[in-house]
Structure 1
Amino acid sequence: MTFAVHGLPVARGIAIGRAVLVVSSRIDVAHYFIKPEEIETEIDRVRTARNAVADELAKLQANVAQMGPNDAPHELAALLEVHQMLLQDEALSGGVKHWISERLYNAEWALTTQLEIIARQFDEMEDPYLRERKADLEQVVERLLHRMKGTAAVLAPSPPRRKRAASADDDNDDPTAGDGIDVPLVLIAHDLSPADMLQFKKSVFAGFVTDVGGRTSHTAIVARSMDIPAVVGARTASQLVRQDDWVIIDGDAGVVIVDPSPIILAEYGFKQRQGDLERGRLARLRHKPAITLDGQRVELLANIEMPEDTVGAVKAGAVGVGLFRSEFLFMGRDTGTRQTRLPDEEEQYQAYKRAVEGMQGMPVTIRTIDVGADKPLDSISANKQEHLNPALGLRAIRWSLADPAMFLTQLRAILRAAAHGEIHLLIPMLAHASEIRQTLSLIDFARAELDNRGAVYGHVKLGAMIEIPAAALTLRIFLKHFDFLSIGTNDLIQYTLAIDRADESVAHLYDPAHPAVLRLVADTIAECRRQGKGVAVCGEMAGDVAFTRLLLGLGLRSFSMHPSRILAVKQEVLRADTGKLEAWAKGVLESDDPAAAMAG
């Protein structure tokens, strides 16, 4: 039966494919694709864990048998027997083998996927006793996952074997019957960690959906960096969609259509082809300079997460990197002690050097680590923050200043990489003069350490993020110390309007066109221009074509966005006359309803 789930559109376009569910677990579970030659190794990991758990249960059963009736009730022996039966059940082991061998899931992912499928079967049973056995199954799987923890193979993303997408001519019961050709996959999850997003970024998904998140949650931002259709804040999508269901993701409308009819498939297939044609038309602008009709040159820069992203930035026509989110180098390293999880100076230096070389002489702006809020460094941090408000806690520069050794390591690596090309150093979430002084002092100290070692390093321009209203209201202090400012509109909107940008329940209140937000942005741009300092917008507003004309009218000449948005924004720039836009932008700022004024 066809039904629709509504959420928030965060990455445009249409995706059609089979659902792949990422199921939540009480312990942290890695999700990645293995290589075909690793199938037997992963199956053997499950087999080894199953044998070990079977031995554990057998020993417990033997101990129970030796106890008297007062020490161990007979129900305990029966429960252990049920666990043994579930452990050996072919529905569990056979399903796990299927997901490993057919979809190339790693063993843990295959286990949680099959658990979800069997658990739903238990939920549909009429007998209450049998329904309750779902909890026993969950306990058995948790035992297996604990056994496998620490024995995972090295992450090795690899495309799973797939079959082709459905079309209007297919039998909707089995659109792939008998053809064996490739089909796209779409990812469905309650939520995704930034580390998971990075892993999936290297794989084969045509789109994704999450139950939680807002338009500028980090999950949504990385979705746009994958340049695939995505919907977040879809509430119960992961509960309603089943493994291998056919799904359409409408990233323009924020709608997820499950089990679509042939007519609906045909309609969305047409929309998908139209989107491809539009992207083709935009691609012709790649090598055209971004100059307005009245001759104003506009700088279109790229936001990246990893050094490898520079390939896409150059291909999209970016004239530099306006934001390298360095925290992604620190994520997904949940093994060993905290010290071994953090990349050392040499590893960071090599990553920044690759980014500089990848941009082929164009400037690269590296933001120092910005963890916290919707970007916890690891699962431990995430659990610790569960009942706090991490957006107002120890994050970004606060986190760095609280750990000077870690911060100095990063600063030394960035300074060394600057010997290979133009690097701008960007500091996030500054709000206090004392933080500015501490930061500048540590940068000087990092230089002194490199001097003492006789290490080669380069000069960097220093910049600060304006993402807290307090910073936007005290620009005079910032412009005394920094060469340029970069407006992080995602957090600026969040803090100005007191809205958690990752919380779908208040997402409707997240408003980039709010008069207070626009006033802070406009004043920051104007003050930088008055003092001859560089200013850019690197938040999601920069890549939103609905705001391109307004930002140009406010005097902005440097936009930094995901590479997938550059050509669309360039098209708006090429059509704009900034002389005419200035008066219009002033009217928008003075309006009680800027969104309506922009649309009018």
Structure 2
Amino acid sequence: MASFTLHGIPVSRGIAIGRSHLLAPAAMDVKHYLIGETEVEAEVQRLQNAVAKVRTELQTIRSDLPKESPPELGAFVDVHLLILSDPMLAEMSLDIIRNRHYNAEWALVTQIDELSAQFDEIEDTYLRERKMDVLQVGERLLKVLTGTATRLPEVDSDGASFANIVVVAYDISPADMLQFRDRAFAGFVTDLGGQNSHTAIVARSLDIPAAVGMNHASKLIKQDDWIIIDGDAGVVIVDPAPMILKQYRELQAHQLRARRKLGKIKKTRAVTLDGTEISLLANIELPSDCASAMESGANGVGLFRSEFLFMGRIGPQHELPTEDEQFESYRQAVVAMKGRPVTIRTLDVGADKPLSAEEQTALNPALGLRAIRYCLAEPQLFLTQLRAILRASAFGTVKLLIPMLAHAFEIDQTLAIIEQAKQQLRDEGIGFDESIKIGAMIEIPAAALALPMFIKRMDFLSIGTNDLIQYTLAIDRVDHEVAHLYNPLHPAVLFLLSTVIAMGRKAGIPVSVCGEMAGDVKFTRLLLGMGLLEFSMHPAQLLAVKQEILNSDLDDLTLQTKKILRSTEPSAIAAAVSQMRATA
């Protein structure tokens, strides 16, 4: 067989080499047939039995998790249990059986398709990818209904013959991955998935090389093919030539040695060669993520995406989390960080997520009623969240971060509602941090270009590079048709980044970067050269970025960065940034 290469989305670093093991999907194109009136209750019972069996499976996986497992793993299984219990999945499917007389599989797939369509309307990348969790729960139910199973080969007592299994699948749920934890598998490849899918997050937590979004990998790769996963590049090489295999084995050994070396700097302060201390913060989605943030040596949480609280509520009639529910989650994170600051971003979803089936969605949700615009349009929802965050500030250092601000009146309205929340708590005798710091996400070009009005009103700034690049270049970064145009080194992007960092430092206002650029070692020295002193990233990226910082001299990087910022040729900029890493 001839060697070939597939390209997908890198979600977990490292190299995996092994034989492929294909997991057959339960297939969403199940048999469709109508049942008679007398068969309805039997079909209802069949689906109810499947739900009960899957619930038992998930509960067993949850209870069998070893104590030393990263805490977020259990949280992902909990999300699947929540989805399984949500009436929008099982109950609505049962109604379809009763009212339309569809067989159980058809009814389930029909309802999953309905829910998937709702998720496709969501602009927020993280929330949109929660669709995968619904599909994964549906897949698990279908496997029970159709009698198919998810199996890995049995491992010999010495584990040697199956030590290098690469799992290849249409999709793998986090629960399935946790079931595989006792088996020796080197990495995984999936047709579906994105950077923020739960499967990707679990892969990073377990430190397993992975590539997702590979489209037709599960059809092109055959059972027992030799496979190389380059997790850093999101590349899969199938049936590699002996020379390529040898090169990757050497690279794999080199990376393993480098990772062991990185572990030694966990407790080392992030200080450049010239003595400048850099603050390295963690991005989290769940309170349980604080454990990995602490383990990686983070100085605090630079971005707590509060959307996760609204995440498991999949139906259009979903109830919003209560103030107490939100408060408890924020409090858990604050306590877990043991005095280190926790920056909580207010809700970053939009009206593109319909709260009822009849609700109209925006024609272009990326430019519509999202993030702070949505919160200001729903003041009661916003006030509830602000009260919960303020209450959590009584338990440690909390900072409030507001997404997608662009106008002075938006800032003023936001500050007024925050003051209203404070006054309500004062009137009720509930404690909170009176001097809580309030910051703005700089993710719209207009905000970067009109920075003085932010500096005048806010305590700190956080640059969301993902959206800033998307809006500056007028592309949807999750649209495969234009994904190749997403370029963090575009001259316009670098101009905005350097301007915000320089103006913030001149005004004495803290500036951090919390987008993907902050955790990508390719850009660490460039951002240092711009004067950035605060980086916030996924905990798994922190030590590699720290290593870059420890080997960097700011005076030298500042000179190189000035030259780069004067250039307007993308190829010259890319070459200079690469050279910066090679020579520093």
TM-score scaled to structure 2, two decimals? 0.71
CA distance, structure 1, for counterparts of residue 504 and residue 37 of structure 2: 72
| Equivalence for 1:497 | 473
Asked if structure 2 preserves the Cα contact closer than 8 Å seen for 1:483 and 1:534, the reply is yes
Cα distance change on mapping 1:142 and 1:318 into 2, 3 Å: same
Pick the aligned partner of 1:438 from 396, 407, 413. Answer: 413
Asked if structure 2 preserves the Cα contact closer than 8 Å seen for 1:323 and 1:367, the reply is yes
Cα displacement (A) at 1:284: 0.5
Cα distance change on mapping 1:234 and 1:61 into 2, 3 Å: closer
Which stretch shifts more, 587-596 or 304-313? 587-596
| Equivalence for 2:377 | 402
Cα displacement (A) at 1:409: 1.1
2:328 counterpart of 1:353: no
Where 1:330 maps in the other structure, the secondary structure is helix
Where 2:517 maps in the other structure, the secondary structure is helix
1:18-44 residue CA offsets vs partner (Å, 9 max, x unmatched): 3446677499xxxxxxxxxxxxxxxxx
Which stretch shifts more, 496-505 or 417-426? 496-505
Cα displacement (A) at 1:12: 2.1
Asked if structure 2 preserves the Cα contact closer than 8 Å seen for 1:304 and 1:325, the reply is yes
Cα distance change on mapping 1:232 and 1:145 into 2, 3 Å: closer
Where 1:408 maps in the other structure, the secondary structure is helix
| Equivalence for 2:21 | 18
Pick the aligned partner of 2:510 from 514, 518, 534. Answer: 534
Which stretch shifts more, 587-596 or 139-148? 139-148
Which stretch shifts more, 464-473 or 221-230? 221-230
Counterparts of 1:210-289 in structure 2, within 5 Å, are 211=191, 227-237=207-217, 239-240=219-220, 248-257=228-237, 271-289=251-269
Asked if structure 2 preserves the Cα contact closer than 8 Å seen for 1:324 and 1:365, the reply is yes
| Equivalence for 1:41 | none
| Equivalence for 2:541 | 565
Cα displacement (A) at 1:144: 5.4
Pick the aligned partner of 2:312 from 327, 332, 335. Answer: 332
Which stretch shifts more, 479-488 or 402-411? 402-411
2:496 counterpart of 1:520: yes
CA distance, structure 1, for counterparts of residue 452 and residue 557 of structure 2: 27
| Equivalence for 2:531 | 555
Cα distance change on mapping 1:238 and 1:425 into 2, 3 Å: farther
Pick the aligned partner of 2:551 from 566, 569, 575. Answer: 575
2:295 counterpart of 1:315: yes
Where 2:401 maps in the other structure, the secondary structure is strand
CA distance, structure 2, for counterparts of residue 474 and residue 317 of structure 1: 35
CA distance, structure 2, for counterparts of residue 472 and residue 566 of structure 1: 26
Cα displacement (A) at 1:468: 0.6
CA distance, structure 2, for counterparts of residue 521 and residue 369 of structure 1: 24
Asked if structure 1 preserves the Cα contact closer than 8 Å seen for 2:461 and 2:512, the reply is yes
| Equivalence for 2:437 | 461
Cα displacement (A) at 1:253: 3.3
Which stretch shifts more, 289-298 or 442-451? 442-451
Cα displacement (A) at 1:555: 0.6
1:204-251 residue CA offsets vs partner (Å, 9 max, x unmatched): 576554556777899978865665433344333355458998865321
CA distance, structure 2, for counterparts of residue 382 and residue 282 of structure 1: 53
1:96-130 residue CA offsets vs partner (Å, 9 max, x unmatched): 99x979x98999x99xxxxxxxxxxxxxxxxxxxx
Q: Residue 13 of structure 1 aligns to which amino acid in structure 2? A: G
| Equivalence for 1:294 | 274
Tell me how large the CA RMSD over aligned residues is: 4.6
Asked if structure 1 preserves the Cα contact closer than 8 Å seen for 2:318 and 2:355, the reply is no
Cα displacement (A) at 1:5: 2.2
2:433 counterpart of 1:448: no
CA distance, structure 2, for counterparts of residue 329 and residue 446 of structure 1: 20
| Equivalence for 1:597 | 576
Q: Residue 526 of structure 2 aligns to which amino acid in structure 1? A: L
Structure 1 runs not aligned, ≥5 long:
28-49, 63-83, 111-137
Cα displacement (A) at 1:596: 1.7
2:283 counterpart of 1:303: yes
Q: Residue 304 of structure 1 aligns to which amino acid in structure 2? A: I
Counterparts of 1:421-432 in structure 2, within 5 Å, are 421-432=396-407
Cα displacement (A) at 1:316: 0.6
Which stretch shifts more, 410-419 or 139-148? 139-148
1:43-82 residue CA offsets vs partner (Å, 9 max, x unmatched): xxxxxxx9xx99x7233899xxxxxxxxxxxxxxxxxxxx
Where 1:324 maps in the other structure, the secondary structure is strand
CA distance, structure 1, for counterparts of residue 536 and residue 440 of structure 2: 15
Of structures 1 and 2, the larger Rg is shown by: 1
Q: Residue 250 of structure 1 aligns to which amino acid in structure 2? A: D
| Equivalence for 1:114 | none
2:107 counterpart of 1:143: yes
Counterparts of 1:340-379 in structure 2, within 5 Å, are 342-372=320-350
1:447-505 residue CA offsets vs partner (Å, 9 max, x unmatched): 12212222122232101000010110010111111100000001100110111111122
Q: Residue 317 of structure 1 aligns to which amino acid in structure 2? A: G
Counterparts of 1:13-92 in structure 2, within 5 Å, are 13-15=14-16, 18-20=21-23, 25=28, 57-59=35-37
Where 2:273 maps in the other structure, the secondary structure is coil
Asked if structure 1 preserves the Cα contact closer than 8 Å seen for 2:349 and 2:371, the reply is yes
1:265-312 residue CA offsets vs partner (Å, 9 max, x unmatched): 787566544433321111111011111111100001111110101110
Structure 2 runs not aligned, ≥5 long:
62-76, 85-101, 116-133, 141-149, 580-584
| Equivalence for 2:460 | 484
Cα displacement (A) at 1:584: 0.8
Asked if structure 1 preserves the Cα contact closer than 8 Å seen for 2:21 and 2:165, the reply is yes
CA distance, structure 2, for counterparts of residue 365 and residue 303 of structure 1: 9
Cα displacement (A) at 1:184: 6.6
Asked if structure 2 preserves the Cα contact closer than 8 Å seen for 1:466 and 1:472, the reply is yes
Where 1:276 maps in the other structure, the secondary structure is helix
| Equivalence for 2:10 | 9
Asked if structure 1 preserves the Cα contact closer than 8 Å seen for 2:316 and 2:355, the reply is no
Cα distance change on mapping 1:495 and 1:390 into 2, 3 Å: same
Where 1:57 maps in the other structure, the secondary structure is coil
Where 1:9 maps in the other structure, the secondary structure is strand
Cα distance change on mapping 1:218 and 1:203 into 2, 3 Å: closer
Cα distance change on mapping 1:382 and 1:567 into 2, 3 Å: farther
Where 2:36 maps in the other structure, the secondary structure is helix
CA distance, structure 2, for counterparts of residue 23 and residue 393 of structure 1: 37
Cα distance change on mapping 1:584 and 1:269 into 2, 3 Å: closer
1:540-581 residue CA offsets vs partner (Å, 9 max, x unmatched): 101111111111111111001111111111111111110121
CA distance, structure 2, for counterparts of residue 246 and residue 451 of structure 1: 65
**Matched pairs, number:** 491
| Equivalence for 2:145 | none
CA distance, structure 1, for counterparts of residue 442 and residue 301 of structure 2: 18
Cα distance change on mapping 1:26 and 1:343 into 2, 3 Å: farther
CA distance, structure 1, for counterparts of residue 218 and residue 166 of structure 2: 18
Cα displacement (A) at 1:355: 0.7
Asked if structure 2 preserves the Cα contact closer than 8 Å seen for 1:185 and 1:204, the reply is no
CA distance, structure 2, for counterparts of residue 229 and residue 379 of structure 1: 37
Where 1:284 maps in the other structure, the secondary structure is helix
Asked if structure 2 preserves the Cα contact closer than 8 Å seen for 1:368 and 1:410, the reply is yes
